[in-house]
Amino acid sequence: MSEEHFIIRPAGVDDAEAILAIYAPYIRRTAVTFEITVPTPEDFRKRVRQISAAYPYLLAEKDGELLGYCYANRFREREAFCKVVEMSLYVRDDLRGRGIGGRLYRALEEELKKMDIQNCYACIASPRGEDPYLGTDSPQFHEHIGYRTVGKLSRCGYKFGRWYDMLIMEKFIGEHEMEG
């Protein structure tokens, strides 16, 4: 599937169950997310509603079928973090590596620039050696699209009876101009 064969559009609450259908296998079968229990459809609708009220939440779609999604969310609660976001991206497992994630992220970054967001962060689960639940695709993808590793939290996630690290990757999308 090449990039031009799908559209990108904003997500709505009515898309929550289709989004959850993509996300749930990542929860059940991987350590990509540190979430352990699949949210209910109602809980997930609340998430979509809450996030999309403040930040862009985008879907990749072809012929009414959801291929993947991404969104930005608040990085931390403190006001001084108002110009930075945490990014999340999930592509249907059978469609990974086909340009969907890159195109979604580029569209999301363009929306974030309009909001005067300066930095994007990705908090990425990282295996502690060979692992059946987690590979290195996500850090490689992020590096490929301009992110750089700026930190690592060691043994911070526990799933499937094992510990995982978390990489913190960063990309500047703004100029960081000073006022005054």
Q: Please answer whether residues 34 and 80 qualify as being in contact, where contact means their C-beta atoms are separated by less than 8 angstroms.
A: no
Does the pLDDT of residue 173 top 90, yes or no? yes
Q: Tokens for 109, please give them.
A: 């970054």
Q: What is the pLDDT, as a whole number, of residue 2?
A: 46
Encode pLDDT of 28-86 as tens digits. 999 999 999 999 999 999 999 999 999 999 999 999 999 999 999 999 989 999 999 99
Q: Determine the pLDDT at residue 177.
A: 78
Domain definitions of the chain by residue range: 3-172
Q: Which of 176, 171, 144, 175 is nearest to 85 (CA)?
A: 171
At residue 97 the predicted structure's pLDDT band, cuts being 50, 70 and 90, is confident
User: How much is the pLDDT for 95?
Assistant: 85
Pair 141, 96: CB distance under 8 Å:
no
Lowest-confidence range among 28-32, 68-72, 133-137, 175-179?
A: 175-179
Q: Give the confidence band of 98 by pLDDT, cuts at 50, 70, 90.
A: confident
**pLDDT exceeds 60 at position 3:** no
- What pLDDT band is residue 96 in, cutting at 50, 70 and 90? confident
Count other C-beta atoms under 10 Å from residue 161's C-beta. 6
pLDDT, residue 4, reads 61
Q: Which CATH number fits domain 3-172: 3.30.300.30, 3.40.630.30, 3.40.50.360, 3.40.50.620?
A: 3.40.630.30
DSSP string, 134-165: --SHHHHHHHHTT-EEEEEEEEEEEETTEEEE
Is the pLDDT at 1 greater than 80? The verdict is: no
Q: 32 near 126, Cβ under 8 Å?
A: no
Sole residue written with tokens 């930040």: 55
pLDDT digits (tens, 9 = 90+) for 102-131: 999 999 999 999 999 999 999 999 999 999
